[in-house]
Chain A
Amino acid sequence: MTDKTQYKVHKEPYYQPQGNEVALYEAAYRNRLPVMVKGPTGCGKSRFIEYMAWKLDKPLITVACNEDMTASDLVGRYLLEANGTRWLDGPLTTAARIGAICYLDEIVEARQDTTVVIHPLTDHRRTLPLDKKGELIEAHPDFQLVISYNPGYQSLMKDLKQSTKQRFTGFDFDYPDAQLETTILAKETGLDAATAGKLVKIGQTARNLKGHGLDEGISTRLLVYAATLIKDGVNPVEACQMALVRPITDDADIRETLDHAIDVTFV
């Protein structure tokens, strides 16, 4: 049996609730309903799931999905050994066996034929057939499936099938409002509230430009990076340019506008 404790979240992650999402999640978990969390990158989706796993004291298995991922990467595969082949469980199978929360991060990045393997686990059946092995796994009573995706940048090619979408309950996340985000920055990095407020302001400038040359605004995560740099003694203007502007755009006009916003915010 796989060691459960290695998947446990041991220390309480800092999470600032934006609404009553914690209670809602707990209700979903009580009934073992699959959950989908949506929202732009770096707004706290993964942090939320981590926090909930800690709160519920359940193991958490996270899979970062990507285009090359195949169904066997999730379910498991045969490996060759000296005297034959050996089956190795994939993360999804492990989670179903030990009763963990299985978190498929950025699910749309995986190919659509890959994502259908989760279907039998997400309805009343709660089973996972391993066709190659000829085994049918009954999911552990504690098992829950969580997926996340970012509806912002998806292209025509990257969307969830309706048949997948309709198996989940959903949470919609967005960047927290200015006051909350300031608190988060201050709490996360220990930066003073005034400077944190300025950072949030710059973040919002970039978020206003979304769709006008920016695919995505400056995320809370990047703001935390900038705050960390400032806390470390880096000049705020340079820290912002390095952590907030340079990563998100190559467009000279946007860069100049954001640089200007930084210049007039930090005097």
Chain B
Amino acid sequence: MTKTEYQHPLMQAYWVQLDTRFAQVEEVFEDVMAEALAVLSREDIHHFLDAARVIGKLGRGVEPMLAFLEEWPSVVKALGEEAVLTDVMAFVMRMQKSPNGKAITPFLQTLAPVARKQHSREQMRHYIEIADDLMARTTGSIHGHHTTFPSPGLPEFFQQAPFLFSQLSMGGVRNWVDYGVRNYRTHPERQTDYFSLQSADARAVLQRERHGTLFADVERKLDLYLRGLWRDPDQLVPYSTAFDELRKPVPYYDRLGMRVPDVFDDFILPLPLAGEGVKISGLDRYRAVLAHMVGHRRWSRPMVADNYSPFQRMAVEFFEDCRVENLLIREYPGLRRIFVALHPKPVEGACDPETTSCLRHRLAMLSRALIDPEHPYGDPQLLDFVRRFHDLLAKGESSSREIADLALHYVARTRLQSDQFAKVWFDDTVIDYRDDNRHLWQYIEDSDDEEFFDDPDKKLKKESEVQSLPPRHYPEWDYHSQTYRPDWVSLYEHLHPKGNPADIDRLLQKHDALAKRLKRILDLLKPQDKVRIRYQEEGSELDLDVAIRSLIDFKGGANPDPRINMSHKTSGRNLAVSLLLDLSESLNEKVAGSEQTILELSQEAVSLLAWAIERLGDPFAIGGFYSNTRHDVRFVHIKGYGEPFNDEVKSRMAAMQAGWSTRMGAALRHAAHYLEARPADKKLLLVLTDGQPADVDSPDERLLIEDARRAVKELDQQGIFTYCINLDPKADEYVSDIFGHRYSVIDNIQRLPERLPELFMALTK
């Protein structure tokens, strides 16, 4: 052991207490202790050193100890005197005993950043609980007894923790972790991808859990806002603020649309500034951003940038921003409250012009004074320019030119030597609802601070035309967590291949007798446009014949019939039907006691039904589906709503084939997507299936059943009536879970061709 001689006897005592011989620790020990002594009480110092010693003796090298020594004082600073040392140590020991020892250092390194975000011991404990839970559930075990494989996700999670906590609330992190564990517990590589935020759904779930006002939630409101209040609708394009920590993007607009951040937290003005806390909702912040841009679009004209120095340009931008805001406020006075609340309030004299470039600070103060009549500033020059600015605006709208001249005067009058300094004052000078003003400048010469995105070569590299439709993504319901898995299922749609239409005609001929019987029922169902209802006491018109008969009865002394009016009723039929066929492998089985497969019988039944509905004249579509894992759900179109039941359709029907599995939820949602667009009053979705929803990548039987049930509920909300015709004799176990009472189980499958049209007619009578 190297005997280190510390000047101070206390320091010597601490070093002894730490009891370590790591040279790297020795190098930093004095600095670390200086920091620790500043925030820790004497007693806590002992606990701190004890803990550090324990960590140093874990046998995992110097890293964990260094991490702890360096992080802990900051943790205490963030959380106050009594931090959560015992909880942290308990968790470290649990990790040490599990195969996850490697994650100890990453964990210790996250302590300070997380503590700074959370500010409470309670929250810190929650964080440890989440990590603990993640570790327990993802650490691999053999035979359920010994934990032998380290959790693949845990170190990645610690890597991402500071970022996660900057974006999500504690509950959000918990949900995010929970989602990852539930879906990728048995898949180490995917789990790593998820917890390192590499996979698409890790980002999707993160996006869903973020706090604040999400752009996606308020997009329509913002669109209405632009349209209604400003008559200046444009494409709104969100940019991500989550993954661009360093280069904070700023709102801007160009000919492709207005770019706004994808999320805004509520803005709460801290107490001492405004007297009492002013809250500007995320939605209002979006509105401020948009209003400001609209102002520029309305009143700003581009200027040639080449003649101005960067400082001059900055000043012009500040003046012009304030001009459009004043004009906006003139339009809607209530905007002042929002702008003033969001505008930083730089403290006069905070920036020292001797050592720092104060240009930004001066301009921000000026900008504040220009939009806030109750500004506290007393600088005579500032007041002079505020007055000149308002004089200009008092005459009308002024113009970008005029205001630029004023700005140049300002720069000339207030220029300081120190403006050139490299050290620039930034505090309280960033006005985050203003756009970057790129529209204000046009460059005659190519400047080197512009990036050119319209690379002419790029156009040539355009991707070749896609041949098929891109997949549609549908969410899937996860009943464990009662949440949707976003964009979980990829569904591909195409036209069904063709066969020989004569086959279908032959099938129809075979059921000729049945068709005749159906025809009689159909004629009854056909709508008669207008029906007269006679013998009404109250009606729209006097039924003269009946009235006179009643009068005769009355005169003759008999009791007259008072029902002497009649009225009319229209009985129209406004119905759109979609038939969804399950085309999974099980359809290829032969029906007991018959030579035909279920598929062939379904073919007959569907042909008859199509024939019947065609006669009724209801718009009608047929689609089939099968699936092979969530990445490949197929939806085939057999008949479209606009198509008549012709040879084209019949040929597709003749070629019907079965294979793969039954992922019903996505197919239901997709069929509903088309049915919803139909203008009919009543919408009916018939599902013909022979078994329960199932797929090879879903070991949990309930999952797809619950998803289908959820899909039916969604359809209900869209006003679509779903009805299931099930050919599975054992269907009772699950079908009512999915469809409620809206199903029929057909036990004798051979009678399907007869039953299907009958069922349909009974449903729509």
Which chain B residues border A90 with CB–CB below 8 Å? none
**Cross-chain contact B334 with A212 (CB below 8 angstroms):** no
B761 at the interface (CB under 8 A from A): no
The complex places the Cα of A261 from the Cα of B223 at a distance, in Å, of: 14
CB contacts under 8 Å to A, within B205-235, are 220-221, 223-225, 227-229, 231
User: Per-residue CB proximity of A68-90 to B under 8 Å, as 1/0?
Assistant: 10101100011010001100000
A130 at the interface (CB under 8 A from B): no
B591 at the interface (CB under 8 A from A): no
The complex places the Cα of A84 from the Cα of B284 at a distance, in Å, of: 73
Contact of A267 among B223, B284, B334, B547 (CB under 8 A): B334
**Cross-chain contact A78 with B544 (CB below 8 angstroms):** yes
Contact of B227 among A85, A208, A260, A267 (CB under 8 A): A208
**Cross-chain contact A267 with B336 (CB below 8 angstroms):** yes
B21 at the interface (CB under 8 A from A): no
Contact of A68 among B221, B229, B540 (CB under 8 A): B540
Instruction: Give, as a whole number of angstroms, the nearest-CB distance from B385 to chain A.
Output: 26
A131 at the interface (CB under 8 A from B): no
Binding site of B, secondary structure by majority: helix, strand, loop or mixed?
helix
Contact of A263 among B223, B224, B334, B547 (CB under 8 A): B334
The listed residue with most A CB atoms (<10 A of its CB), out of B224, B229, B338, B564, is: B224
**Cross-chain contact A205 with B229 (CB below 8 angstroms):** yes
User: Per-residue CB proximity of A193-211 to B under 8 Å, as 1/0?
Assistant: 0000000000001101100
The complex places the Cα of A160 from the Cα of B337 at a distance, in Å, of: 50
**Cross-chain contact B541 with A72 (CB below 8 angstroms):** yes
Q: Give the residue name and chain of the B residue nearest to A209 (CB).
A: B228
Q: Give the residue name and chain of the B residue nearest to A213 (CB).
A: B224
**Cross-chain contact B333 with A265 (CB below 8 angstroms):** yes
Instruction: Give, as a whole number of angstroms, the nearest-CB distance from B733 to chain A.
Output: 41
Q: A78-B544, A209-B227 are in contact. Are A265 and B221 (CB under 8 A)?
A: no
A258 at the interface (CB under 8 A from B): yes
Which chain B residues border A73 with CB–CB below 8 Å? 540
A14 at the interface (CB under 8 A from B): no
Q: Give the residue name and chain of the B residue nearest to A78 (CB).
A: B542
B386 at the interface (CB under 8 A from A): no
Which chain B residues border A254 with CB–CB below 8 Å? 224
Q: Give the residue name and chain of the A residue nearest to B334 (CB).
A: A264
Q: A68-B540, A70-B540, A78-B542 are in contact. Are A264 and B224 (CB under 8 A)?
A: no
The complex places the Cα of A119 from the Cα of B30 at a distance, in Å, of: 105
**Cross-chain contact B334 with A265 (CB below 8 angstroms):** yes
Instruction: Give, as a whole number of angstroms, the nearest-CB distance from A76 to chain B.
Output: 11
Which chain A residues border B551 with CB–CB below 8 Å? 80, 84-85
**Cross-chain contact B541 with A208 (CB below 8 angstroms):** no
Q: A68-B540, A70-B541 are in contact. Are A208 and B231 (CB under 8 A)?
A: yes
Instruction: Give, as a whole number of angstroms, the nearest-CB distance from B409 to chain A.
Output: 32
User: Per-residue CB proximity of B568-583 to A under 8 Å, as 1/0?
Assistant: 0000000000000000
User: Per-residue CB proximity of B146-162 to A under 8 Å, as 1/0?
Assistant: 00000000000000000
Instruction: Give, as a whole number of angstroms, the nearest-CB distance from A215 to chain B.
Output: 14
A57 at the interface (CB under 8 A from B): no
User: Per-residue CB proximity of A228-267 to B under 8 Å, as 1/0?
Assistant: 0000000000000000000000000110111011011111
The complex places the Cα of A95 from the Cα of B332 at a distance, in Å, of: 51
Instruction: Give, as a whole number of angstroms, the nearest-CB distance from A266 to chain B.
Output: 7
The listed residue with most A CB atoms (<10 A of its CB), out of B220, B223, B284, B337, is: B220
Which chain B residues border A253 with CB–CB below 8 Å? 220-221, 224
Instruction: Give, as a whole number of angstroms, the nearest-CB distance from A248 to chain B.
Output: 12
**Cross-chain contact B542 with A257 (CB below 8 angstroms):** no
The complex places the Cα of A205 from the Cα of B335 at a distance, in Å, of: 15
Which chain A residues border B670 with CB–CB below 8 Å? none
**Cross-chain contact A265 with B332 (CB below 8 angstroms):** yes
Which chain A residues border B564 with CB–CB below 8 Å? 80
The listed residue with most A CB atoms (<10 A of its CB), out of B228, B284, B335, B564, is: B228
User: Per-residue CB proximity of B315-337 to A under 8 Å, as 1/0?
Assistant: 00000000000000000111111
Which chain B residues border A267 with CB–CB below 8 Å? 333-334, 336-337
Q: Give the residue name and chain of the A residue nearest to B224 (CB).
A: A257
CB contacts under 8 Å to A, within B329-383, are 332-338
B713 at the interface (CB under 8 A from A): no
B287 at the interface (CB under 8 A from A): yes
Instruction: Give, as a whole number of angstroms, the nearest-CB distance from B284 to chain A.
Output: 8
Which chain B residues border A208 with CB–CB below 8 Å? 227-229, 231
Instruction: Give, as a whole number of angstroms, the nearest-CB distance from B534 to chain A.
Output: 15
**Cross-chain contact A266 with B334 (CB below 8 angstroms):** yes
CB contacts under 8 Å to A, within B271-300, are 283-284, 287
Q: Give the residue name and chain of the B residue nearest to A254 (CB).
A: B224
Which chain A residues border B231 with CB–CB below 8 Å? 208
Q: A80-B547, A256-B221 are in contact. Are A205 and B228 (CB under 8 A)?
A: yes
Instruction: Give, as a whole number of angstroms, the nearest-CB distance from B482 to chain A.
Output: 24
**Cross-chain contact A258 with B228 (CB below 8 angstroms):** yes
CB contacts under 8 Å to A, within B520-567, are 540-542, 544, 547, 551, 564
The complex places the Cα of A78 from the Cα of B220 at a distance, in Å, of: 56
CB contacts under 8 Å to B, within A117-133, are 132
The complex places the Cα of A267 from the Cα of B333 at a distance, in Å, of: 6
Which chain A residues border B541 with CB–CB below 8 Å? 70, 72, 77
Which chain B residues border A70 with CB–CB below 8 Å? 540-541
A-B contact pairs, 30 of them (CB 8 A): A68-B540, A70-B541, A72-B542, A73-B540, A78-B542, A78-B544, A78-B547, A80-B547, A80-B564, A85-B551, A132-B544, A206-B228, A208-B228, A208-B231, A209-B224, A209-B227, A212-B224, A213-B224, A253-B221, A256-B221, A256-B283, A257-B224, A257-B225, A258-B228, A260-B284, A263-B334, A264-B332, A264-B333, A264-B334, A267-B334
A sample of 10 more A-B contacts (CB under 8 A), given A68-B540, A80-B564, A261-B229, is A78-B542, A208-B227, A209-B224, A212-B223, A256-B221, A258-B228, A261-B332, A263-B334, A264-B334, A264-B335
Residues of A within 8 A of B (CB): 68, 70, 72-73, 77-78, 80, 84-85, 132, 205-206, 208-209, 212-213, 253-254, 256-258, 260-261, 263-267
| 9 nearest A-B pairs in the assembled complex, by CB-CB distance | A264-B334, A264-B332, A257-B224, A267-B333, A205-B228, A209-B228, A253-B221, A208-B228, A253-B220
Residues of B within 8 A of A (CB): 220-221, 223-225, 227-229, 231, 283-284, 287, 332-338, 540-542, 544, 547, 551, 564
